[in-house]
Structure 1
């Protein structure tokens, strides 16, 4: 069957109009690699490419949520204006001082002090440590995590939340809708949380029939636990069995290896503030710490709020989410801060760096770039999904060409086919520059996310080194210097290096050509997905 000539002509004209418009609009404020990928898709398959672009093409949130984020950041800047860029005793270089100032300008959060209680890697032991901390809670517990599942391994964690709620502690919990719903136990999770007395909300929900809808490609990937506004866990652990409860993982013996830092001190206030902002965005509720009249009670979970708040009210209320810091003499960076289980703990200068679609200037990427560009001796990067953009790849390889010792720790096998092959496509450029690539052996999936620079600065949190974490996911990273976090993370590097296989240029040259072809195709696809 053929179309009438008039319809065929009209179709050709429409196709060309779509392509001409795409040429002049898609590259605006977008990475060249991403622009190229979208243009290829639209030029080859306009009927498919255009609707996909209209649905997923923008890397930013818009409307009310974006206005709220901007006003919240501006208010945080005004509220903390009396604080210095770095706390007393911090001996930051001029370059690091400028990075702290940039982070503060982009996120509204200054550099404070904090102490490391512990680094946690084993999942079961991490959940047990979290449970012990929760059992000591007296006022509040705040949980924000991308993937959550109440299973045999995580039962110790959720049972501690249940006990806390039973003794009158206010327990609030946020979990990403798409992140959690594909795992066993999802259908009963909400009921179990409610029955345990936990007030919970979905992050970035996809519930159009309940008037709660967010774009499916924008997710909240943060992992935070805050107890009594005094202790926080920040890192890469999701709250789920380390096999992710999938049969294929259990058959293969595949488990996820993560890293989370437990901290105390003034920095916890910033973790609580990030949680409070996300709670406000999802629950439309001003928390008790805002010192305002509580919102009318609603059924927790997925129901639509029955009232609305203006962004101005939200912005005016934000300062109460950040407890007064700087009113008393702050501990001196580098001084001793003995803690139970850590008699050798010292005070770190710490700054929390949230990022995501509400932050159009990509604070996490800019921080990574600035730290690497200023490195003079050593850079170590650990990331499960390493798909750098042009600027980050240039910064890493330039550091290596300058004589900086650059190490990259990745998994030899990834749980995601496209990501695994896209990541491999960057190895030739890295190896040519002298970057040492250490691949953690399968079946373990290396999922830790951190970076150290020059034996002085450490960054750890939820952000991968890829386009999704820079632009599409809400992430949070903790920057620290002047204390012991960098030492602890470099010791962790030693443990990873001891069991990993270093990839050499000779080994890479022996890779089959068909695999390189797949790598390059997946690299192009990763700019869109």
Structure 2
């Protein structure tokens, strides 16, 4: 309801003087919002909130007060800072551990940037294996849990009990019963509503496993924070020897919903099996999240002193990000690497709704002669996000970016970036505002020419082979109604 309508309603329903009170409150809300909401917010985010408040002043104000802060409560951020300081002290305040004189300056500064933001150094001595098949990844995690001797740390966004995940949970419960310390973190809101979640909760409770809901929304138990700040990380660590991370959740590739099965939808993910010092870094991320939820620091299961060789193996660095940090760690890394690209950039993201910084970086590099390729899905499970994403295609193509749409009915869920011939990022982070500021994410920065060659081969043999290149001429002929929907969704994308 606009101001005139609000005043007219007040005049017809309430005593005369109340119309002026309503009008005064309406104008006060708008004026205060105009001068306070943009403070230290990205322009597109501030615009989204201002648009909501100017259209619906009273409702918009309530929503803003409920959801407006992009940060976790102060105590949670203080816990993150405590873990960061422990890690920095243990690593001697070094951004790169081991020989690094051969690193090009932009890559060395990337490591320094990540260390300043996330406290974890770049380290030698890693062995990394790509796992492009979800069922194979579940099998390998199950085998690792079956072989566990000391501890298992499990942290995922969406987790359910179904035919594809049962063996993994049976292995975790068996490990617990033989004396292995098993700690499980499951995002509360992320898993709610999926078939099998309630059965899993009952199963874990009956097994007396040490598990917690991450960022729980249960006010009747005194558990509450902003409900759309979520833990989107995917981390699985066994004995400090092996770890898994990437884009995959612990659920059947159909996401166990009948509507998905009817449509033939299957999620496509990419995971990495890790050995070496980055296992300890992923474990440190888990330890910080466990501390946030339980006030318990897992000193016996948290290797603060990294055993890193001076040279050899794959050079890699774990980059945590999210509302527990003061900065947007992931987007700063992405844009830094994009601006330092020399000849090629490959981006794969299921939800590509860039902020101004990322969009400008990709367009600038493309117009500078860099080959920029973007992989998105032709199918999506989020209609509004998909329309917001599509609203960017015209200007990206005009800037020279090549867009590939992965064939339906597969739901592309892999999240990676390849820069030139030696830099790869794989992780849980999408290229959208939610992943930049509202979700806990974890990314793995990998600097290795042989690994990056494997990624380019996977891109060509799988992602490009199963995608169709967007035809700009055909795309521009889409209906006016579709363009209208894209524009509306784009305006609200900063609030998604």
* TM > 0.5: yes
**Please, which of 400, 423, 428 is the counterpart of residue 434 of structure 1?**
400
After superposition, give the CA deviation of every residue in 1:483-503 in whole Å (9 maximum; x if it has no partner). 533222212211110110000
- State yes or no: 1:325 paired with 2:303: no
Aligned length: 484
Show the 5 A alignment for 1:153-232: 153-232=164-243
Preserved contact between residue 117 and residue 262 of structure 1 (Cα < 8 Å): yes
**Please, which of 235, 252, 256 is the counterpart of residue 267 of structure 2?**
256
CA distance in 1, matches of 2:451, 2:101: 14
CA distance in 1, matches of 2:451, 2:429: 18
Q: In the TM superposition, what is the alpha-carbon distance from 1:72 to its structure 2 partner?
A: 2.6
After superposition, give the CA deviation of every residue in 1:406-439 in whole Å (9 maximum; x if it has no partner). 0001001210011100000000111001101000
CA distance in 2, matches of 1:411, 1:28: 35
> Relative to structure 1, is the Cα distance of residues 4 and 466 closer, same or farther in structure 2, using a 3 angstrom cutoff?
same
CA distance in 2, matches of 1:200, 1:365: 31
Q: In the TM superposition, what is the alpha-carbon distance from 1:331 to its structure 2 partner?
A: 5.4
Counterpart in the other structure of 1:144 = 155
Counterpart in the other structure of 2:471 = 504
**Please, which of 54, 59, 63 is the counterpart of residue 65 of structure 2?**
54
- State yes or no: 1:391 paired with 2:372: no
Q: In the TM superposition, what is the alpha-carbon distance from 1:46 to its structure 2 partner?
A: 0.8
- State yes or no: 1:516 paired with 2:483: yes
**Please, which of 417, 432, 451 is the counterpart of residue 466 of structure 1?**
432
Preserved contact between residue 86 and residue 304 of structure 2 (Cα < 8 Å): no
TM-score normalised by the chain length of structure 2: 0.95
Q: In the TM superposition, what is the alpha-carbon distance from 1:188 to its structure 2 partner?
A: 2.5
Preserved contact between residue 38 and residue 53 of structure 1 (Cα < 8 Å): yes
**Please, which of 481, 495, 499 is the counterpart of residue 447 of structure 2?**
481
**Please, which of 72, 80, 87 is the counterpart of residue 76 of structure 1?**
87
After superposition, give the CA deviation of every residue in 1:93-139 in whole Å (9 maximum; x if it has no partner). 10111111010011111111243342112222110111111112110
Counterpart in the other structure of 1:275 = 286
After superposition, give the CA deviation of every residue in 1:39-88 in whole Å (9 maximum; x if it has no partner). 11101101210000011111111321122223332342233225452532
Counterpart in the other structure of 2:117 = 106
CA distance in 1, matches of 2:187, 2:483: 34
CA distance in 2, matches of 1:368, 1:144: 24
After superposition, give the CA deviation of every residue in 1:451-510 in whole Å (9 maximum; x if it has no partner). 010111010010000000000000000001135332222122111101100002112112
Preserved contact between residue 229 and residue 439 of structure 2 (Cα < 8 Å): yes
Preserved contact between residue 354 and residue 475 of structure 1 (Cα < 8 Å): yes
CA distance in 1, matches of 2:84, 2:268: 33
Q: Helix, strand or coil for the counterpart of 1:58?
A: coil
Q: In the TM superposition, what is the alpha-carbon distance from 1:267 to its structure 2 partner?
A: 1.0
CA distance in 2, matches of 1:436, 1:169: 49
TM-score normalised by the chain length of structure 1: 0.89
CA distance in 2, matches of 1:404, 1:201: 45
CA distance in 2, matches of 1:132, 1:27: 50
**Please, which of 342, 355, 358 is the counterpart of residue 376 of structure 1?**
342
Q: In the TM superposition, what is the alpha-carbon distance from 1:323 to its structure 2 partner?
A: 3.3
Preserved contact between residue 379 and residue 453 of structure 1 (Cα < 8 Å): yes
CA distance in 1, matches of 2:220, 2:335: 42
CA distance in 1, matches of 2:170, 2:83: 34
After superposition, give the CA deviation of every residue in 1:213-234 in whole Å (9 maximum; x if it has no partner). 1211100000000010111101
Preserved contact between residue 125 and residue 311 of structure 2 (Cα < 8 Å): no
Preserved contact between residue 316 and residue 446 of structure 2 (Cα < 8 Å): yes
Gap runs ≥5 in structure 1: 291-320, 334-346
Q: Helix, strand or coil for the counterpart of 1:237?
A: coil
Counterpart in the other structure of 1:400 = 366
**Please, which of 366, 370, 383 is the counterpart of residue 417 of structure 1?**
383
After superposition, give the CA deviation of every residue in 1:163-203 in whole Å (9 maximum; x if it has no partner). 21122111110000000111112222222013335210000
Q: Helix, strand or coil for the counterpart of 1:229?
A: coil
RMSD: 1.5
Q: Helix, strand or coil for the counterpart of 1:361?
A: coil
